[in-house]
Amino acid sequence: MEKILAELINSLTDDQFLEFYEKVKKEAELIKKQKRLNKIDQKFREKGIKCPNCKSYHCVKNGHNPEGKQKYLCKKCRASFDPFRHHFTYWSHLNYEQWNLLIQISLLGQSSKVISRFIKTTPKTAWYNRQKLMQSKQLENTQLKFKKLNGQIQINETFIKKIHKGNFKDKFDKRKNHLDPFSTNTKCFIQMAVDTNNNIFVQSTNTKRLQKQWIIENMNTKLINKNSIIISDMQPLYLLVAKQTSSTLYATKTRTNPDASYRKLNKIIKLQASLKEALIHYHGLGFTNIQNYLNLWKWKYQHKGLTPNQQATVLYFNI
C-alpha cells in the first residue's frame, strides 16, 4: 500500500501534489476532530450529561451560572444548558436533607401536611414540591422500561369513589369527600392491565366511566401485541380491545362466580388493592393530577424491594 502511494505521489506534478496535500490535510484534521469529539462523547455519555435540545453528548464546560452551578455548551447545536434544569431540585429552596425526607414521606403515602411538619415548610410548599417530584424526569427515567403487553394479559378497571377538592373548613361540607377503598359509586375511572412479564399499565381516563373513544386511542397495538390472550370481566368495550389487537378475549362473570374470577384475575386484583391502599392517604386528588399519583405508585411498586432511604437515593441521583 505504501509503495503504491509513493509511486502515485512521485507521478504528480508540483501543482497536483499541493492540491492533493491540501485535501489530505483537511481530511486528517476532520479525523482528529472526530476522535476528540468521540472522546468527549464517551466522557459525557458516562456522566449522563446530554444536550436537551438535540440530545447530543458532544458537550464542553461553559462557565458557571450565578448560583455557581456548572454550565455546558453543546458543540453540535451551540446551545448552552444546565444539566440539572429538569431535575426536581432545580430552582428549589429545599436542601438535600429536606428533599430526602420529602421523598421518603411521599413514598410512605403521607399527606403534604405531615411532610410540611418534617421539612419545616408550609403545607402549600410541601404539596407543590411533591407535585414537582411526581412530574420530574427522574421519576420517568428511573422506572423500568415499559414494553408492550403480550402473552396472557389481565385487564380490569377500578374506581375512586370521591375526590377531595379544596380546603373546606366546614366538616359537614358536602364537597369535602375522602377516598373509600370499598367504593362502588364511580367518580374517577382508572384502567389497569398487567401481562405475564409483570409489565404494568395504569392510566386515568379522566372520566367517570370507560368510554369507547378512549379505548380506540389508548388500548390498541401500540400498547398490546397482536395475537395476545386478554382476560377480563364482562365489560363490552373489551371486545373492541381484542378486535383492535387481533387477540383472543376470555371474559368471566364476576358476580355469578367470584371465586373463578379471582383465580383468573388474581394479578390485577392484587395491583388494584395495592393502588387503593396507596391513594387512600392522599387528599386533593382530582382529574388534573391523578395521573401523577398513579405514576408515583407505579414507581414505588417497581422498587418495592428497596428501603425508603434507598428509594430516595435512586430518585435524587437518577441511578
Asked if the model's pLDDT at residue 190 lies above 70, the reply is: yes
Mean pLDDT of 165-174: 53
Reference 265, options 118, 125, 155, 111; nearest CA is 155
Instruction: Report the chain's terminal Cα–Cα distance, integer Å.
Output: 49
**Confidence tier at 116 by pLDDT (50, 70, 90):** very high
Contact 44, 57 (CB under 8 A): yes
Mean pLDDT of 270-299: 83
Share of the chain above pLDDT 70, in %: 78
Whether pTM exceeds 0.85: no
Scan for cell 369513589, then name that residue. 161
CA torsion through residues 203, 205, 210, 211, sign: negative
Lowest mean pLDDT among 31-40, 72-81, 120-129, 233-242: 31-40
Contact 148, 219 (CB under 8 A): no
**Cα 270 from chain centre:** 22
> In what helix (H) or strand (E) does residue 228 lie, and over which residues does it extend?
none
Q: Where are the domains of the chain?
A: 2-81, 143-302
Contact 98, 119 (CB under 8 A): yes
pLDDT digits (tens, 9 = 90+) for 60-71: 888 877 767 778
CATH topology of domain 143-302: Nucleotidyltransferase; domain 5 (3.30.420)
What is the C-alpha separation between 231 and 73, in angstroms, rounded? 51
What is the C-alpha separation between 39 and 58, in angstroms, rounded? 9
Strand partners, 46: none
**Confidence tier at 122 by pLDDT (50, 70, 90):** very high
Close Cβ partners of 186 (under 8 Å, ≥ 6 residues apart):
159, 161, 208, 209
Q: Give the helix ranges, DSSP H, for the chain.
A: 2-10, 14-47, 96-107, 112-119, 123-134, 137-141, 212-218, 238-245, 258-264, 266-279, 290-302, 308-317
What is the C-alpha separation between 152 and 274, in angstroms, rounded? 21
C-alpha cell of residue 33: 476532530
| Range 89-123 burial, b when 16+ CB lie within 10 A, else e | beeeebeeebbbbbbbbbbebbbbeebbeebebee
